[in-house]
Structure 1
Amino acid sequence: MTGGAPQPPSFAPEVHKGDIPKEYRLQRYYTAADIAGHNTAHNCWVSFFGRVYDLTPLLAEYKGPLAQPIIAAAGSDISFWFDEATGQPKMHLDPVTGMQEIYCPWGRYIHVPPQGPESDWATDFGTPWWEDTRYWIGLRSAATRKIGIVNLMTRQKNTLEVPVEETVAEIQQRYLVHNAHAGSYTWKRLGKPLNMDKTLAENGMEDETEEFLRLSIDLDHHIPVIHLHFNDDLTEA
């Protein structure tokens, strides 16, 4: 991440319990759509306060009713579960007991203590999952934009929704699912090669989404296009 913030590992950590998806390359930023695709107990991502967490390893270790609220939230933002000032779960007064307890809008979840004594409640789990940086995999994008990518050799055109914070090189990584040899092309906008280490805006492709929305202009009719020029060298894939 930028600004001296700690960074997640380059790859998701290997886990040996439960039905864990295969290892995947991490990104600096994820879109809401990226997160939404991980919405099951065996592939569970959530976000809160701008960070994205893969809780699949957590759910591989914890079964039962306490896992259900997290499974139900898979693929979504759960910032409303927490106090932004403290980063801890929100507290509220129980209307029945009048006692202060953790606010669990979808039911008590993993690492939240019970209201009263329970013989099977373990307190030796160490760091609660919402504080455990092992599950942090990147940042949630503050905004996204659409771009068109046209391969001038094959005439294939794809439209991608990308985080505004990503560099062109990071967008290229997203595009690999459409063309595994994307690194063998020069990426150009209006005939000018793009600086792969800069964002689209830094390359002069300003994001006009807000202006178009203000003017009620259909965004899908005004998607900027990047052209890929083949370098005749497949060794850079």
Structure 2
Amino acid sequence: MAGESKVFTLADVSNHNTAQDCWLIIDGKVYDVTKFLEDHPGGDEVLLSATGKDATDDFEDVGHSSTARAMMDEYYVGKIDSSTIPGKVKYTPPKQPHYNQDKTSDFIIKILQFFVPLAILGLAVAIRFYTKSA
């Protein structure tokens, strides 16, 4: 990494997104990993899936060794202009009506409100017919 670093935009890096020309961003630095694709212990698919974008999270999630981190210098091509990388958007779930865990009891109450008066009416009719015939 001798000398002055070239500064790239995300658009610049995004143009290098094939197995023949594979660039990615890790910790604000741009790496041309094209020559490393065949030697990558995790396979070339891992690098190709991260090509042309900020792969910092992917890189950190794997937990690379200090040896792997030292090898990165060989593939360094410059820095990324961080103003060209979109900020992370915090996920906010859509607003939903409050979930009533007692929905079942509401349903039972509505059924009872219908059947209890019906039962009382039926009982009253039965008593009327029973007392009339006696």
- TM-score norm. by structure 1 comes to 0.30
Pick closer, same or farther for the CA change 1:135–1:142 going to 2, 3 Å. Answer: same
Match of 2:76 among 115, 124, 136: 136
Which SS does the other structure have where 1:138 is aligned?
Answer: strand
Does the Cα contact within 8 Å between 1:47 and 1:140 map onto a contact in 2?
Answer: yes
Partners of 1:64 and 1:135 in 2: CA distance: 16
Match of 2:27 in 1: 49
Task: Give 3-state SS (helix, strand or coil) of 1:139's partner.
Answer: strand
Aligned to 1:38: 16
Deviation track 1:1-53 (CA, whole Å, cap 9, x = no partner) reads: xxxxx436x8xxxxxxxxxxxxxxxx610000000000011100000111000
Query: Equivalent of 2:67, from 127, 135, 151?
Result: 127
Is the contact between residue 41 and residue 74 of structure 1 (CA under 8 Å) also seen in structure 2? no
Equivalence for 2:36: 58
Q: Deviations over 1:126-166 (max 9, x none)?
A: 932x432010111001225xxxxxxxxxxxxxxxxxxxxxx
Aligned residue pairs, count: 83
Q: Distance in 2 between matches of 1:74 and 1:62?
A: 16
After superposition, residues 171-182 of structure 1 pair within 5 angstroms as none
Question: Residue 77 of structure 1 corresponds to which residue in structure 2?
Answer: 54
Amino acid at match of 2:15: G
Q: Structure 1: 5+ residue runs without aligned partners? A: 1-5, 11-26, 83-88, 91-101, 104-111, 114-125, 145-237
Higher relative contact order (CA 8 A, sep 6+): 2
Q: In the TM superposition, what is the alpha-carbon distance from 1:64 to its structure 2 partner?
A: 8.9
Whichever structure has more strand as a proportion of its residues is 1
Percent identity (aligned): 29
Matches within 5 A, 1:215-230: none
